[in-house]
Amino acid sequence: MKTVTIDPITRLEGHGKISIFLNDQGNVDNAYLQIPELRGFERFSEGRRAEDMPQITSRICGVCPVAHHFASTKTLDDAFNVEPPSTAKKLRELMYMGYIMYDHILHFYYLGGPDFVVGPDAPAPKRNILGVIEKAGVEIGKKVIKHRAYGQKITSILGGKATHPVCGLPGGISKGLDKEEVNNIKHMVKSSIDFAEFSLKLFDDIVLENKDYVDLIKSDPYQLDTYNMGLVDDNNKVNFYDGKIRVTDQKAKEYIKFDVKDYFKIIEERVEEWSYMKFPYLKDLGWKGLTDGKESGIYRVGPLGRLNAADGMATPKAEKEYKRMFETLGGKPVNSTLAFHWARLIELLYATERAEELINDPEITSKKIRNPVGEPDEGFGVVEAARGTLIHHYKLTKKGLIEKANLIVATTNNAGAITMSVRDAAKGVITNGKINDGILNKVEMAFRAYDPCFACATHTLPGGMQLQIDIYNNRKEKIKTFNQG
Amino acid sequence: MKESKKKTIILGIGNPILSDDGVGIHVIEELKKKKFDIPGITVDSAFTGGMNLLDMIVDHDRAILVDAIKRNDKKPGDVGVYPIGEVSAFHTTNPHDLSLPQAIDMAKRLGEKRIPKDIRIVGINLGELPTEFGENLSPEILNSIPKAVKAVEKEIKKDG
C-alpha cells in the first residue's frame, strides 16, 4: 500500500495533515485527516475568576476572538442570572456583524475563493490573494482590503481593542456609542452592503457562469447528506448572536430545536483512536461511523449548515439571495460542500444588512448598557462563529470562580463531516495512482470550504507544531508512526 | 531619552496563555518594566495574523517584531535578529490568515506607501513546542527574555 500525504494543508491555521491510503490499483482505500492537539484549556480555566473568561477564551485562537468573547460573555449572563439591557444586546450583535464581515471576506477572497477565481488547477503560488488581484485587478483588490478593514474597525470601535475585544461583561457591555461613532459606522456599513452585493455578483460571473465550476460543485465527491445545524431566531431565520439551535434532516425538515442548556442531552462526542479531534454526533441517532444519511448522527455547521438548518434570512437582500441559491442548486437541503462559499457570501450580505438595521436603531446610543448581576451558579452560551456553532458551558463556585468549563467549538462540530468530505474527495479525484498538485488541491478544496480553524478545534498552535504520521494497514492496525519536526 | 529619528513600533507577538508561544509578549512586558520610554517609539503586543499585524505596523519607518521561532540549527533560548522573510516566525506565518510577508506583498501591489522600510524580527528559538495551555515559561525560554530585551535595545541604539 502506498501512502500519499498532503502536508501541511496550506493557508489554514495549525498544521492539519491528510493521509491518503492507496490500494494496489492506485485508487483510494481511505483517507484521514489528523490534527495535533494542545491540551488543557478546560483545566487552565479552573479556579479563575469567571469575569476573566471572555478575555481568556478570546486568546484560545488568534482568528476568531470575537466569537469566543461573546460565547463566553453570554455564558456569564446565564451563570450570573442576568439579562442584559436591549441596547447592550444590540451593541454586542452589531460588533458581531463586524466580525462576520471581516472573517467571511478574509475567507472568500484570501483563503477559499482563490481556488475558483484563479482556478483549482492553477499553480499553488498563484492560488492566493495575489493571484486574485492579478486576475481580477488592482481596483478589486483595494475594495477587498478596504471592506475587510471596515469589519475590523467596527469591532474595534465597539470592542475597545483592535485585535482582542475587552467590552463584554456579564449583564451588558462596557462601552456605548457616541454620535460620531454611529456616523462613522453608518458610512462603513453602507459601503459594505454594496461590497457584499458586488461579491455575490463576482461569484455569479466567475463561478456560476463557468460550467466546469458548476459541474465541480454538483459532482458526487463533494456531496454529503448529513443533518444540518445552526442558530435560528423565533421565525427560524439565521441568527449569529442569539436564538435556539435547530437541526434539520436530509429532507430539510426540523429534526429538533433546542436551547443551548440542553446541548449535552442532544450532542455526544465520539473519540477515535486515530484522531486527536472529538467527533460530535446527535446522541439519539448514535455513532454509526464516518458515514452520512438519515441513520448517522453526523451533522454540519457553518455557512451551508446554517442556511440549510434555517427557513431563510431575516434581511431582504440576503433572503432573496438565499432563495436564489437553493433554486439554482436544486432545492433544500444543498449538500454540496463547495456551496459553502456561496452560502458564506449570502451571510456576508446578511451581516451588512443586519449591521445597518442595528446602527439605525434609535436605541443604539442609549446609555443603559448594563444590568446588575445576580448570584453565580451554572451558565450556558452559544453563538454562531463564522465557522459554525460555538458552545461554552461553565460551572461557577459561590465566589464566582470557574469550577468546570466545557467548550464545543465550531470546527469540532464539523469534524466528522470534514473528515468524510476529504475522504470522498480523495476517492473521487484520485484514480489509477495519478496524483499531481491540481488533483491534491481538489482534495484540499473539500477541506478548505469549511474554513476550519484547528487552532481552537484542537487548540493547535498557530504556525508550528510537531507532526505525527500514522500508517495503518487494511485491518486498521497501526503499523508505523513517524514524528517530524 | 532623546526622540528616535525613525518612527518605530516594537511589537511582541504570541499567545499569552500558551506558555513558550507567548514569549514575545513577555519580552515586551519586561521592556515596559524597564520604563523603556523613548519619544517616537511605540511598544505594543498582539496575538493575531498577518493582515492585522500589517495594520499595526503601517505608518512607521521601522518595525521590530519579537516572536518565537523554531530553528533546528539553534538551541532553545537562543536569540537572533533577522530581516523579515529570512525566518518563519510563529505568528507572522499564521496559515489561516496571510503571512506578514504575503500581506506586505499584497499591500505593495495595491499601492500602499506606508509600509515600514525596515522590518526585523527578534526571534527567540523554542525547544519543545508547547502542547498545553499555561502561563509559565520553560526555564531556558524564561532565561532568554533578558537577552531578547538587550537585542531589542541594541537594534534601537544601532540606528537611533
| % of chain A residues with pLDDT over 70 | 89
pLDDT value at residue A457: 43
pLDDT digits (tens, 9 = 90+) for A140-192: 999 999 999 999 999 999 998 767 788 999 999 999 999 999 999 999 999 99
Tell me which H or E stretch contains A168. Answer: strand A168-169
Neighbours of A175 (CB within 10 A): 15
**pLDDT tens digits for range A90-100:** 999 999 999 99
> Who has greater pLDDT, A128 or A311?
A311
Helix (H, G, I), strand (E, B) or coil at B132: strand
Distance CA A19, CA A32 (A): 5
Residue B96 in contact with partner chain A when CB distance is under 8 A = yes
Which of B17, B49, B106 is the closest to A44 by Cβ?
A: B17
Contact flag A12-B15 (C-beta cutoff 8 Å): no
| A266 Cβ neighbours under 8 A, 6+ residues apart | A245, A247, A256, A258, A282, A283, A284
> Shortest CB distance from A130 goes to which of B55, B97, B105?
B105
Query: Looking at residues B99-119, what average pLDDT do you find?
Result: 89
Strand, coil or helix: A301: coil
Q: Do residue B131 and residue A37 have CB atoms under 8 angstroms apart? A: yes
B125, part of any domain: yes
CATH code of the domain covering residue B135: 3.40.50.1450
Q: Is the pLDDT of residue A12 over 60?
A: no
Tell which of A10, A11, A48 to mutate to test the B interface (max B CBs under 10 Å).
A11
* DSSP label at residue A244: E
Give backbone dihedrals phi and psi of A267, rounded to 5 degrees, phi first: -110, 135
How are the residues of chain A apportioned to helix, strand and coil, as percentages rounded to the nearest 5? 45, 20, 35
Residue B118 placed within a domain = yes
Is position B2 within any domain?
Answer: no
Given CB atoms, is A142 within the 8 Å cutoff of chain B?
A: yes
In a domain, B1, yes or no: no
User: What would the pLDDT profile of B44-64 be if each residue is shown by its tens digit?
Assistant: 998 887 888 899 999 999 999
Domains defined along chain A, listed by start:
1-36+444-485 (no CATH), 84-223+336-371 (1.10.645.10)
Does the residue B54 lie in any domain? yes
| Residue A127 banded pLDDT, cuts 50, 70, 90 | confident
Q: Which residue has the cell 486574485?
A: A132
Tell me if A14 and B95 make a contact (CB, 8 A cut-off).
Answer: yes
Query: What's the domain range around B69?
Result: 8-159
Instruction: Note the pLDDT of residue A472.
Output: 42
Q: Per-residue pLDDT averaged across B146-158, rounded?
A: 94
Backbone dihedral region for residue A143 (phi beyond 0: left; psi -120 to 50: alpha; all else: beta):
alpha
Cα(A421)–Cα(A438) distance, integer angstroms: 17
Cα of A436 vs its chain's centroid, Å? 29
Nearest beta carbon to residue A13 from set B21, B72, B95: B95
Min Cα distance A307 → chain B (Å) is: 24
A231, A307, A335, A465, B60 from A312: Cα distances, Å: 12, 7, 17, 41, 46
pLDDT, tens digit (0-9, with 9 covering 90-100), for A29-62: 888 887 655 678 888 999 999 999 999 998 887 7
Establish if B3 belongs to a structural domain: no
Any domain includes B42: yes
Q: Considering only A103-117, A220-234, B15-29, B82-96, which range has the smallest mean pLDDT?
A: B82-96
| Length of chain B, in residues | 160
- Cα Dmax for chain B: 45
Given a contact cutoff of 8 angstroms between Cβ atoms, the answer to whether B15 and A62 are in contact is: yes
- Specify the pTM: 0.91
Between CA B20 and CA B25 the distance in angstroms is 10
Phi, psi of A393 (to 5 degrees): -150, 120
Q: What is the number of domains present in chain B?
A: 1
Cβ contacts of A210 within 8 Å, gap of 6 or more: none
Distance to chain B for A468, nearest Cα, Å: 13
pLDDT interval class at A363 (50, 70, 90): very high
Is residue B49 less than 8 Å (CB to CB) from chain A?
A: yes
Q: Is B81 inside any structural domain?
A: yes
